[in-house]
Structure 1
C-alpha cells in the first residue's frame, strides 16, 4: 500500500488536477463548484450543472421558478428560484409522498394558485399503479407550500404533461404523443377522453437519432398565437438525436402549423460541446428578451446526466422562434444584471437536515425517511437490505468534471457502511466496511479485490473522481491516508450503456441490521 499523508496527498491531487484535460473557464461557487455566471456580464452553460433534466420553468412577475424530473429520489421535485435565469437557489422539495419514478413534470400558475402536473412511472415496490404511467397533480397557494398530496387525474399510459389555457378560457393538459385532455376549472380532474391532436414534425429518415419519440409538449400563448414546443429524436442515444421543434395555432383546437425552420435546436455533430439537446420551454427573460430552457449531455461527461442549458432566441418577423446561441461552449450575455447567489453547498457538517435539497434517498419505500436522523454534527443512518443494491442509499447531485468526497463513519451492530459513487441499484463504485473487512464495489457488485483495510468500527473514507478515473482512500485517523490498491474508469456510466436516465453521484449507505454514524462529509471540486 502507498500511504499519502498531509501535504503529499494534496500535492498528488494537485498534480492530477493540473494534468487533467483543459476545460472552459466557469465561475466558481460553493465548494469550488462550477457556476455559469462569470461575473463579467456573461454566463457559460450549464446554468444548473449535474443531472437536472426535463426543466419546467415558470415566470411569476420578476421571479422565476424551475423544477426537474426527480426520478427515484425521495423527497422529490426540488423547486429552484432565480431573478436572472442564470443564478439559482433551492427553495426545497415539494413532493414528500412519492408514488413512483417521477418523470417530466409541468410547473404552472393559474388564478393565483400553483400546480405541478406529475407523471409517476410504476415503482418496483408499488402495486397501486396499473399502467405504464399515471398523471397526478399537486397544488399550493404559495411556492413555499404547503403542497397537497398527489391527486390522481386518471390518465394512464402517457407522460410529459403540458398545461395550457385556451381561447375559450378552459384548461387543457397536453401529453406525450401529442395527446390532449380537458381539465376541470380547478385543474384537479379531467373532462372527457384523451385525444391525439398533433402528429409532430418529421425529420428526414436518414438522420441519426435514438427514436422518433414525440414528447415533452410545452405550450404558451404569445399575441394571437398558441405555440407548441416539443421534442423528437429520443432523449439519449446518438449525440445528434434529441432536438427541439415548434408548431403554432390560432386555437387550442388546432390545426397546428409546423415551424418552417424546424428543428429550432439540434446537435448536428458529436464535435459540439452539448449533445442530445431537447425538452425545451420558451420563457421571457428579465430584460424582455426570450430564451429556451432545455437539457443536454456534456460531451465526454454524460456521467453527469442531462444538465440545464439556457439559449437566447428571437422572434422572426413572421412570428417564429429562432435560436441564437450558436456555439454553447462559449460565454453568452447575461439576460440581466446578476441577481443573488447560486447553488447549494455539497459539504455537510450534519448540523441540520437537508433532505430533498442536498440529500435524497434512492428508491425508498414510503415512510422510509425515518431511517435517517441528522443533528449535533452527525447523520445516523439505520441499515437496510444487504448492500448498496437494495439499501436505498442517500445520494446527492454533482455537476463538476472532477472532485473529491470524504466522510468519517462509526459502525454500530451488524451493519456495513460506506461511501460510493452511485448510478443506480445495478451500477455503483466505492468502499464498504463491516468492522472486520472492507468490500470493494466496482461495476455494481462486490469485486474480487480484497483490500487489506484494518478491522475497525471507525474509519474515514475518500473517493477522488479525476475526470472519470476513481481512486479510493481510507484512514484510521482522518490524517494519514492509504490509497486503495485498485482504480476504476467510469466514462461509460450513462444512459446509453445502462438504459436508465440517471447520473453517477456521491452516496452514503448503511446495509444490515445495525446503523452507521456519518460525520464531516466534505466535497471539493478539482479545477
Structure 2
C-alpha cells in the first residue's frame, strides 16, 4: 500500500493510540487549581526566575544534546519548552560517546538570572571549570566565558546594585564559599568561606526585604535547609525545611516571586524510574522565614492547591512529532552528541532518517534519539518505513536508561528482515544485553512499534503491528529502573536507535511518533 499524506496518517495513528485526549498528565485542573507535579517527567535540579510576567525554568540535561533545557510559563503550572542553551556539548571528547561516553556527568545544576536586559546562566560541566552563559533573548544565541575554577552546583546571584556572586558548596562536605565576580561577570575577583552546613549542595540564593536566603539540598537525608543572613558573608542562621524522605515535598529548590508580590516555592523530589520531578507550592512568611505550604497546612507541599496566577491557557511541552519541520522539535535530545552525517530531516522530507552507527548495543550507539518518559503511564508509537534496513542493521524503538529495552528491525542476508527484542542493563562492568526474542520474521516495508511505560507499576513492554491496529506484544514485561550509580542519572526515556557493528548504506525512515496516555485497560 502506498504511503498516505502525512496529515492523514498522523491523525490515524493518534486515534489508534488513544481515542481521547493525547495528554498523559495535566497539572492544570481547569477550575483554578493545579495538581503536583506540574510536569510529570524528569526535570531535575530546577531553578526558576521571573522576568516581568514570564517565568523561566532551567533544568539538568547531563550528556543529552542539545544541552541545558529552558522552559517558559506565565503561571508556573502550564509550561512549554523554550530552548536549549548548548547546541552541542563541548569540552570533553567523551561527549561524542568515545571510550564508553560520559554517562551521569555532563551539564547539570545550572542557575539562571536576569539583569539589565541580559539572561545569565552559571553551570559547571563535570570535570571542567564553571561557565557563565549569556544572551539578550531566552532563545539565544548564547555565548559563554569560563571562570578560573570549578564551582560545584553554582548558585549565581546578582544583587540590587548589579554586583555578581556565586555561592557554592559540595555535599560531601558542606563548606559554603562565596565567589565575587567582576563587573561583567567574566572572572572571579575574590573568594571567601562564609558558612558551613554539613552535607549541603544544590545552592540557590534569593533576596527579600533586606534578607539573603540560602536554600540547600542535603542529599544524605533527602531534605532541604533554609539559611538567612543580612549579608552574603554571614553570619547565617539555618532551619530545616521540607523533605523527600518524610514525604513533605522534596529536597532541592528555592522560591520565586509573583507579579502581585506573593511567593511560590519550587522543589525537586525523587520519584523512582521516571526520575526527579518538580513540585510547586504556595509559600507564606512567618517572622521573615519562608514556609512551604499554606497557613492551614504548613511545612508540606500540597498535592493540590490554587494556581499562582489565574487566566492562563493550558500548555504542555511538545511530545508527538510528524517530522515535517526542518529542525528537530525541542522535545528531542540525542544521547551524547550525534554524528550529523548519519541522520537527516531533509533527505526524505517528512521523515526522520537514521543511518546506523558503529556499535553492537544501544548503550554505545551514537545517534540514539530520546525524549522524556511521561507519567503516570504513557504509550509511544512510531510509524516506520523499513525498506532501507541493511544486513546487520539493528534499528528500532523502545526505552533508554538504566534498563534499555529495544524492539528493533534486524537486517538479514538476502534483503530479509526480522524483529529482535533486546534488553540492555547498564552495570558497573559495562552494558549487558539479553536477547529476549531473537528473530521474528516480518514481511513488507511498513511497521508500527509500540513502547509502554507504566511508572505506577514500574514496568514496560514493547510490541509491533503491521497495520497500526492489530498489535502483538514481544518479549514480555521488563522493569523500569532509576539508578544514579550505573544508569544515566535520569528517568527512563523513549528512544529511537539504529546501529550495526559494521554499518553500511542502510537506513531507517521514521514517519511519526505519537504519545498518549496508557489507560488502565491497556496495562
2:277 aligned with 1:307, yes or no? Answer: yes
CA distance in 1, matches of 2:374, 2:283: 26
Counterpart for residue 288 of structure 1: 261
Q: Deviations over 1:307-331 (max 9, x none)?
A: 1110111111x21111125564631
2:342 aligned with 1:371, yes or no? Answer: yes
Counterpart for residue 518 of structure 1: 510
Counterpart for residue 87 of structure 1: 78
Cα distance 1:228–1:413, how it changes in 2: closer, same or farther (>3 A)? same
2:479 aligned with 1:490, yes or no? Answer: yes
CA distance in 2, matches of 1:97, 1:483: 37
Counterpart for residue 356 of structure 2: 383
CA distance in 1, matches of 2:322, 2:490: 26
CA distance in 2, matches of 1:311, 1:385: 47
Gapped regions of structure 2 (runs ≥ 5): 1-13, 96-105, 171-175, 413-417, 426-431
Cα distance 1:429–1:143, how it changes in 2: closer, same or farther (>3 A)? same
The two structures have a TM-score, normalised by structure 1, of: 0.80
Per the TM alignment, residue 196 of structure 1 is displaced from its structure 2 partner at its CA by 2.7
Within the candidate set 218, 242, 259, 2:222 is matched to 242
Partner SS, residue 372 of structure 2: coil
Counterpart for residue 139 of structure 1: 134
Task: Say if 1:84 and 1:286, in contact at 8 Å, map to a contact too.
Answer: no
Q: Which moved more, 1:33-42 or 1:340-349?
A: 340-349
CA distance in 1, matches of 2:262, 2:251: 20
CA distance in 2, matches of 1:233, 1:161: 16
Counterpart for residue 162 of structure 1: 155
CA distance in 2, matches of 1:281, 1:171: 19
Counterpart for residue 8 of structure 2: none
Task: Say if 1:350 and 1:374, in contact at 8 Å, map to a contact too.
Answer: yes
2:497 aligned with 1:509, yes or no? Answer: yes
Matches within 5 A, 1:113-512: 113-121=118-126, 132-148=127-143, 150-156=144-150, 158-166=151-159, 169-177=162-170, 178-192=176-190, 194-200=191-197, 202=198, 212=199, 214-234=200-220, 241-258=221-238, 262-269=239-246, 272=247, 277-298=250-271, 302-316=272-286, 318-324=287-293, 326=297, 328=301, 330-353=303-326, 355=328, 357-364=330-337, 368-374=339-345, 376-386=349-359, 387-392=361-366, 393-409=368-384, 410=386, 411-414=388-391, 415-423=393-401, 427-436=403-412, 437-444=418-425, 445-456=432-443, 458=445, 459-466=447-454, 467-484=457-474, 486-491=475-480, 493-495=481-483, 498=486, 500-512=488-500
Task: Say if 1:217 and 1:228, in contact at 8 Å, map to a contact too.
Answer: yes
Per the TM alignment, residue 443 of structure 1 is displaced from its structure 2 partner at its CA by 4.0
Task: Say if 1:136 and 1:153, in contact at 8 Å, map to a contact too.
Answer: yes
Partner SS, residue 124 of structure 2: strand
The two structures have a TM-score, normalised by structure 2, of: 0.81
Per the TM alignment, residue 110 of structure 1 is displaced from its structure 2 partner at its CA by 1.8
CA distance in 2, matches of 1:363, 1:476: 32
CA distance in 1, matches of 2:23, 2:162: 48
Task: Say if 2:423 and 2:436, in contact at 8 Å, map to a contact too.
Answer: no
CA distance in 2, matches of 1:352, 1:167: 43
2:62 aligned with 1:71, yes or no? Answer: yes
Partner SS, residue 34 of structure 1: coil
Partner SS, residue 197 of structure 1: strand
CA distance in 2, matches of 1:354, 1:388: 24
Partner SS, residue 49 of structure 2: strand
Matches within 5 A, 1:6-17: none
CA distance in 1, matches of 2:121, 2:281: 24
Q: Deviations over 1:486-519 (max 9, x none)?
A: 322324x113674642111100001132321111
Gapped regions of structure 1 (runs ≥ 5): 1-9, 18-27, 122-131, 203-211, 235-240
Cα distance 1:457–1:80, how it changes in 2: closer, same or farther (>3 A)? same
Q: Deviations over 1:338-375 (max 9, x none)?
A: 4133213322111115546211101226xx34533225
| Aligned pairs, number | 459
CA distance in 1, matches of 2:513, 2:244: 38
Q: Deviations over 1:44-98 (max 9, x none)?
A: 0111220001111111111111110111110112221111111111112221131
CA distance in 2, matches of 1:179, 1:499: 31
CA distance in 2, matches of 1:59, 1:113: 13
Partner SS, residue 282 of structure 1: strand
Per the TM alignment, residue 303 of structure 1 is displaced from its structure 2 partner at its CA by 0.8
Partner SS, residue 252 of structure 2: strand
Cα distance 1:455–1:169, how it changes in 2: closer, same or farther (>3 A)? closer
Counterpart for residue 22 of structure 1: none
Counterpart for residue 111 of structure 2: 106
Partner SS, residue 351 of structure 1: coil
Partner SS, residue 389 of structure 1: helix
CA distance in 1, matches of 2:64, 2:327: 13
Task: Say if 1:44 and 1:328, in contact at 8 Å, map to a contact too.
Answer: no
Q: Deviations over 1:8-66 (max 9, x none)?
A: xx9x999xx9xxxxxxxxxx9x7222021101111101112200011111111111111
Per the TM alignment, residue 151 of structure 1 is displaced from its structure 2 partner at its CA by 2.1
Task: Say if 2:292 and 2:301, in contact at 8 Å, map to a contact too.
Answer: no
Cα distance 1:433–1:268, how it changes in 2: closer, same or farther (>3 A)? closer
Task: Say if 2:223 and 2:245, in contact at 8 Å, map to a contact too.
Answer: no
CA distance in 2, matches of 1:90, 1:56: 15
Counterpart for residue 124 of structure 1: none
Per the TM alignment, residue 108 of structure 1 is displaced from its structure 2 partner at its CA by 0.7
Partner SS, residue 273 of structure 2: helix
Cα distance 1:370–1:48, how it changes in 2: closer, same or farther (>3 A)? farther
Cα distance 1:379–1:356, how it changes in 2: closer, same or farther (>3 A)? closer
Q: Deviations over 1:149-193 (max 9, x none)?
A: x3221213x42111223577531111123222111111122224x
Q: Which moved more, 1:71-80 or 1:443-452?
A: 443-452
Cα distance 1:371–1:297, how it changes in 2: closer, same or farther (>3 A)? same
Cα distance 1:354–1:67, how it changes in 2: closer, same or farther (>3 A)? farther
